Every structure is written in structure tokens, then in C-alpha cells.
Amino acid sequence: MSNSCLSSIGKKLIMSISGLFLVLFLLFHMSMNLVAVFSGEAYNAVCEFLGANWYALVGTMVLALGFIVHIVFAFILSLQNRKARGAERYAYQEKPAAVEWASQNMLVLGSIVFVGLILHLSQFWYKMQFAEIAGITNQYGVADGAAWMQYYFSQLPVVICYLVWFVAIWFHLCHGFWSALQTIGWNNKVWMDRWKCISNIFATVVMLGFAAVVIAAYIKSLC
């Protein structure tokens, strides 16, 4: 096996492992956010517990590193695949029925996910954890996550942006989850069909959980 092939496999493995790490974070983040639907006080208690404590800061840095590694290797592999196809990419080819739409548009979906993440960080992380670190005061306070949710998710354009973002993440997860497992070796015929099903269910549950938080806050603003 050539060095270039080994290098490509190694990059795919790194991207897959970092992706699975982010999948676990999404599950945690969704579970935490759902608390706000039932109790703003309980959600704020979670926010205050995390805050800018050393363990939260370490977790944030590890999460940021995982995301950076994932997106960098995703772009590298996408560019390598594009270069490998060469002029063939301009020729019309009928897309195989067995290849999912998401698998052929992972770079586009990933770009939407990235833009949505920037929006999310500017609205919540910057106003909360970063504000606490920098000593910045704002209208709701650094630990009042419930108030920030209600403020942003009472605005219909913001709600629509988040729902579009969730749909992009859903497509990305549905393909990315089982693809990552395939890359690390769990790719026998029986389990691949099972992992694809599990990936679809997992992505649907997680993203519906996120959407429920946004929609609940918007409905509350109308009452």
C-alpha cells in the first residue's frame, strides 16, 4: 500500500474520531438545552455550574480543538478527492442510486453547519462564558441562559435560521455517523445496515430535541 494511501486513510480516521467526539457533545448539549423547556431556573443552574470554571474552560478548549481538527481534515480530504477526480468532475455522470444525497454534499452541509455555529457562538458563548472570562456586563447576565434563549428565539428570522441549521446538521449526522464507524472498521455488511438505521434515529432524536427548545421559546413569546 502506498504512502499516499496510508496518509488518506489516516486523515479519514482522524476526521472520523473527531466527528464521533462531536456527536457525543451534541447529545450532551441537546440534553442540557431540553432542561430549559421545563425549567428556566434549572437550566440557569446548569449554566452557572459550567460558566468559566476551569473544567468548563478545559472542556471548551478540547471541544474547539476537536471541531477545528474535524473541519480542517474534512476540507483537506474534500480537496484531495476533487483533485483526484480531475477533469472527470466536469463530465456528466449519473449519480449512483446507492449513494445518499448527503454523502455527495458533505462539504456544502459542513459549510452551513459552520456558519450556523458562528451565529450560535456569537449569540450565546460570547454573551455568556466569554463575557464572564472577560468581565463584560450585558443585559441578561452571563449565567442567565434561559433569558438569552427567550430573547433570541422570540425573533422569527433567528428561529428560521436555527431550524435551517438543524436540518443541515441532521443531514450531516445521518451520513457522517455511520460513515465514521465504517472508517474505524465497523463495516461488515450486517452492521453497516444497522449503523445506518441507528444514525438516522440518533440524528432525528437529537435535532428534534434542539428544534423543540427553539420552537418552545418562540411559542412562549407569542403567549
The domain locations on the chain are: 3-84+98-222
SS3 137: coil
**84-98, 161-175, 188-202, 208-222: the lowest-pLDDT one:** 84-98
| CB-neighbour burial class of residue 190 (10 A; exposed 0-12, middle 13-18, buried 19+) | exposed
Hey, what amino acid is at 107? L
Q: Which pLDDT tens digit goes with each residue over 4-38? A: 444 677 878 888 888 888 899 999 999 999 999 99
Residue 76 has pLDDT above 70, yes or no: yes
User: CA 196, CA 212: separation in Å to the nearest integer?
Assistant: 24
Query: How far is 33 from 8, CA to CA, in rounded Å?
Result: 37
Is the whole-model pTM more than 0.95? no
Do the Cβ atoms of 170 and 204 come closer than 8 Å?
yes
d(C-alpha 53, C-alpha 55), whole Å:
6
**Each residue's pLDDT tens digit, 90-124:** 444 444 444 456 566 667 777 888 899 999 999 99
Specify the CATH number of the domain 3-84+98-222: 1.20.1300
Q: Is residue 58 scored above 50 in pLDDT?
A: yes
User: Which residue is associated with the grid cell 440518533?
Assistant: 202
